[in-house]
Amino acid sequence: MTDLSILFPLPETSAELGGLIAASDQGASGVVLPTAVFDQMPQLSFSFNDKPSEYAGLRAVSARLDPCFDIAGQCNPQLRLVFQPIAQGDGEPVAADAAVHVFYSLSDAEFTGLLGAMTRAQSAEDASGPLTVHPAMAREGLAGPAAQSIKEAMLVFAGEERLVRATFMQLGGQGNVWEFGGFEIAAGTLTPLAIAGGAEVSQRFENNAFHDLPNFYGAVVPVIPPDDFSVFYESDTAGTMTDDDLRDAYTSALRTENPTLHSADSVACVQCHTANAAIDWADRSTDLELEAISARFTSDHDLTQPSTIFADRTMTVRAFGYQDRVVAVSRRTIFETATVVDATREKYGFGR
C-alpha cells in the first residue's frame, strides 16, 4: 500500500529538511503551494512567530495517489500532499499539530506514469506490507535514491497550475482546539469549500484531555450530519451509558471511517479526524467491538496501524502524518488506501 499512500520519514536533523518537498519548491507545474493560497488560511500553529516563517517551515510529510477522487460526481485522478509546519524541537525537528492538504489534478496517463515511478522506488515485498513510513526511505534516509526519485517525480505535477483544492487544520486555544476549512480552486479563484455538501464552511473541535489522555473532554461546533457520534466527545457522560444507548453513535463512527460508505466530500471534517479515537475509546469501554455491525470496514489487505496513538491520546486528530515525532496514520486513511489499491488494479491492471 506504500506505493499509493506514502509517509515520508521525519528528518532527524534540520539539515535533512531539504529532503522533503517544501511549500515553496517549484517544479514543472509551478510553485507547490503558492503564498496567495496560503495567505487565505489562518496561521496554523504556535510553532512560528508569523505566517511567512510558518510558510517557510511547511514540509510535505505524506502523499497520496488516487485514480478516481470524486469531485461533484466526476472521477479525477489526483496527487495529494499533506504539509505540516516543522520546527526545530529539542535537538530534532518536530511536526506541529496542524496541516495543509493540497490536491493536484492528473490525467490517466500522468497517474500511471507517476505510479510507475513510485513502484520503481521500492520492492514488491516492501509495498505489500501495512501502511507505515515508506520502507525504502526509512532504510535509506531522505538523501537516499528512493526519496530523491519520489520527490523528483512528484515535483513534475505538484504545482499551482494543477492545484484544484486546498484544506487546512489549524491548532488554536491552548493546543486543544482544531479549526477545519478549505477552498476549491479554479483559474486562480478560491471558493470556500462546503463541508459534507452542506452550508457550513468551517468546523471546530475542542478536547480538554490534557491530564487524562485516553478520555475525551470535548465538543464539536457545529455538528454536521449525516453521522453524529459526538456523544463520545464527553467520556464522563458516555461512560454512564449502556451499549444499547451507544450503539447508534458507534455505528455512525464506523460508517464515518468506512470509505465504501462515505467519500471525503460526504463526511464532516471533525468526524473524519476523530472517528478513530472515538471507536478506540468505545472498544475499550464497551462490548460493541464484539458485535457484527455491517458498517465495519473489511478488506483482504493488511490494515494494521503503525502506532497506538489514537487509543493512547484522544487529542490525536492527525490523519496521515506526525504527532510531534510519533507516526499517526488513522484507520480511515488505511481503509481508503486499501480501496484505492483495489480500484487501481481494476482500472489499470496494476497497483500494490
Q: Does residue 77 contact residue 54 with C-beta atoms inside 8 Å?
A: no
What is the pTM (predicted TM-score) of this model?
0.97
pLDDT in tens, 224-253: 999 999 999 999 999 999 999 999 999 999
Per-residue pLDDT of the chain (352 residues; tens, 9 = 90+): 999 999 999 999 999 999 999 999 999 999 999 999 999 999 999 999 999 999 999 999 999 999 988 776 778 899 999 999 999 867 799 999 999 999 999 999 999 999 999 999 999 999 989 999 999 999 999 999 999 999 999 999 999 999 999 999 999 999 999 999 999 999 989 999 999 988 999 999 999 999 999 999 999 999 999 999 999 999 999 999 999 999 999 999 999 999 999 998 999 999 999 999 999 999 999 999 999 999 999 999 999 999 999 999 999 999 999 999 999 999 999 999 999 999 999 988 877 7
Could you state, in order of their start, the residue ranges of all structural domains in the chain? 1-193
What is residue 217's DSSP assignment?
Answer: B
pLDDT in tens, 158-217: 999 999 999 999 999 999 999 999 999 999 899 999 999 889 999 999 999 999 999 999
C-alpha angle 208-315-2 in degrees, rounded to nearest 5: 170
67 vs 86: CA distance, rounded Å: 29
232 vs 211: CA distance, rounded Å: 18
Task: Find the distance separating the first CA and the last CA of the chain, reported in whole Å.
Answer: 6
Three-state secondary structure call for residue 168 = strand
Beta bridge partners of 58: 85
Three-state secondary structure call for residue 54 = helix
Name the residue among 268, 293, 261 with its Cα closest to residue 198. Answer: 268
